[in-house]
């Protein structure tokens, strides 16, 4: 038997159509909502992008402004520094001109005012050279301006005197000059054409005189007669021997014999000899070694041979068997 056709319910169809329509509307609304949400999201993204770009622009603008402000401040600072430098330079030159003016005025006053004219010239520490001689050598005169001379020229003039070793000039304002002299001291004589050339311990020739002044006479010097002039110095050979003479005299002084030495022969550096005028004895020293020991033997022989003229020989090696001895003059 054929299948019986299914019976169609009109209500069912209508209800189904109704539900389909609702679903369609619902999906439509859902799509519209999603569309609106997508549009809103795109708008917000664009807004965010706009906000980001705006912030970037603002930041860049601010940085440019800060940079310009910094450059403007630097420019102002440079201008301020230049202005300060100009002010400092102006102040410096003003002070300099004032100082120059004051100094120039002071110099003019010092060189022209009678307050600074020399009234007194005092010489100190001179023993051998008279004060008048030193003042005359200096060329200074009362009434001269105390500032109108160069000290170096005065030194040279005063040191023309052989006795002057050093000199100092002091201005005692307002009107006094003080000349401080250091003198050379005559200590020995050099035989010179029947006269005596005074010398000091540095070998400077100080004066030619006919009086020995009781100073020991050095014999056998090799300095040429033409060179024995006050102010000159002995030649190198004699200067070397003079050092040995000083050693001999110091050794004699230690034994109390220096005051008896009237002459010293330096002709041979290996055979120095001294003459004791009071004892009328010649002491043969040999070279200038072991002088202290030699002088002790000389002193002992003088005591044992008192009142006798003759020669004392200590010119050997007293530490190696040599016996000091005395040979009486016949």
Strand partners, 176: 120, 172
Q: In the prediction, which pLDDT does 327 show? A: 96
Residue pair 181/164 in contact by the 8 Å Cβ criterion: yes
Q: Which residue has the tokens 């008192």?
A: 306
Residues 6+ apart with CB under 8 A from 171: 146, 147, 177
Show the tokens assigned to 47: 């807004």
Handedness of CA 37, 39, 42, 48 (dihedral sign): negative
DSSP string, 277-288: TTTTEEEEEESS
What global pTM score does this model have? Answer: 0.67
Low-confidence residues of the chain, pLDDT below 70? Answer: 1-19, 44-59, 109-110
3-class secondary structure, 182: strand
101-125: string of b/e by CB count within 10 Å (b at 16+)?
eeeeeeeeebeeeeebebeebebee
Residues 6+ apart with CB under 8 A from 233: 202, 203, 204, 205, 239
Give the Cβ contact number of residue 160 at 10 Å. 10
Q: Fill in the DSSP letter of residue 148.
A: S
Q: In the prediction, which pLDDT does 1 show? A: 42
């Amino acid at each position: 038997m054929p299948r019986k056709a299914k019976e169609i319910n009109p209500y069912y169809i209508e209800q189904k159509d109704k539900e389909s329509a609702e679903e369609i509307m619902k999906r439509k609304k859902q799509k519209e909502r999603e569309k609106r949400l997508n549009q809103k999201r795109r708008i917000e993204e664009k807004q965010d992008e706009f906000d980001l770009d705006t912030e970037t622009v603002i930041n860049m603008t601010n940085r440019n402004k800060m940079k310009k402000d910094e450059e403007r401040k630097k420019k102002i600072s440079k201008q301020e520094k230049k202005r300060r430098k100009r002010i400092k330079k102006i102040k410096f030159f003003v002070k300099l001109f004032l100082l120059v003016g004051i100094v120039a005025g002071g110099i003019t006053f010092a060189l022209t005012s009678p307050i600074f004219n020399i009234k007194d010239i005092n010489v100190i520490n001179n023993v051998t050279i008279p004060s008048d001689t030193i003042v005359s050598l200096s060329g200074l005169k009362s009434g001269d301006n105390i500032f109108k001379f160069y000290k170096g020229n005065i030194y040279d003039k005063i040191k023309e005197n052989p006795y002057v070793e050093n000199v100092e000039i002091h201005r005692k304002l307002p009107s006094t000059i003080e000349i401080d002299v250091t003198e050379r001291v005559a200590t020995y004589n050099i035989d010179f054409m029947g006269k005596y050339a005074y010398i000091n311990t540095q070998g400077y020739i100080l004066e030619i005189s006919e009086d020995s002044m009781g100073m020991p006479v050095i014999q056998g010097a090799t300095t040429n007669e033409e060179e024995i002039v006050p102010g000159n110095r002995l030649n190198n050979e004699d200067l070397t021997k003079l050092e040995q003479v000083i050693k001999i005299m110091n050794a004699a002084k230690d034994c109390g014999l220096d005051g008896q030495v009237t002459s010293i022969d330096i002709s041979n550096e290996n055979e120095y000899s001294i003459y004791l005028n009071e004892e009328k004895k010649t002491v043969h020293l040999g070279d200038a070694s072991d002088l202290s020991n030699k002088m002790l033997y000389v002193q002992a022989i003088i005591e044992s041979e008192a009142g006798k003229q003759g020669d004392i020989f200590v010119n050997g090696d007293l530490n190696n068997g040599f016996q000091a001895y005395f040979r009486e003059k016949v």
